[in-house]
Amino acid sequence: MANYARVVRRSAALCSVVAAAMIAICAAVAGTKGVYGSLVGIGVVTAFFGISILAVGRAAKISPMVMMVTAMATYVVKIIAFMIVLVLLRNVTVFNGRSLGLTALVLIVAWCAAQVVFMMRSKMLYVTPEEMK
């Protein structure tokens, strides 16, 4: 669990920097509506990954197998929910929809890449040593 918490903190820090960059890029490209779209995208991605962190964190206390099943299930649910959110928000004119989509896509890729990189760099035991049992 401690390893997962460290990976989540580092991934969140990286995504914060990426989110700030996306706000600036969307502001430069699409103006105020681009900023609003980017902020909505950041909010949606933050909510979805926050739900995953809570669910996987609780599942990790049960067993690694439950944690993996929970991670995969929440990922599939998030993809479906994100598609529903995009369909519901497609006709909204308050913000730039392309900025929302681009920001969300970049943040999802950054989060996933950070999770993989930081997890690969962490030193995780494959078996429990006898003295820890």
Instruction: Take residue 16 and report the two structure tokens written for it.
Output: 């914060």
Please give the tally of structural domains in the chain. Answer: 1
Kindly report, residue by residue over 21-77, the tens digit of the pLDDT.
999 999 999 999 999 999 999 999 999 889 988 998 888 888 888 988 998 999 899
Evaluate whether 40 touches 17 at the Cβ level (below 8 Å).
Answer: no
Kindly report, residue by residue over 68-122, the tens digit of the pLDDT.
899 899 989 988 998 998 899 888 999 999 999 999 999 999 998 998 898 888 7
The whole domain housing 39 covers 2-116
Evaluate whether 125 touches 37 at the Cβ level (below 8 Å).
Answer: no
**Can you give the pTM of this predicted structure?**
0.82
Task: Please give the DSSP secondary-structure letter assigned to residue 127.
Answer: S
Residue 85's identity, in one-letter code, is V
User: Could you give the dihedral angle defined by the CA atoms of residues 14, 112, 109 and 92, in that order, rounded to the nearest 10 degrees?
Assistant: -90
Q: Which one, of 43, 47, 53, 44, lies nearest residue 10 by Cα?
A: 53
Residue 2 pLDDT grade (very low, low, confident, very high; cuts 50, 70, 90)? low
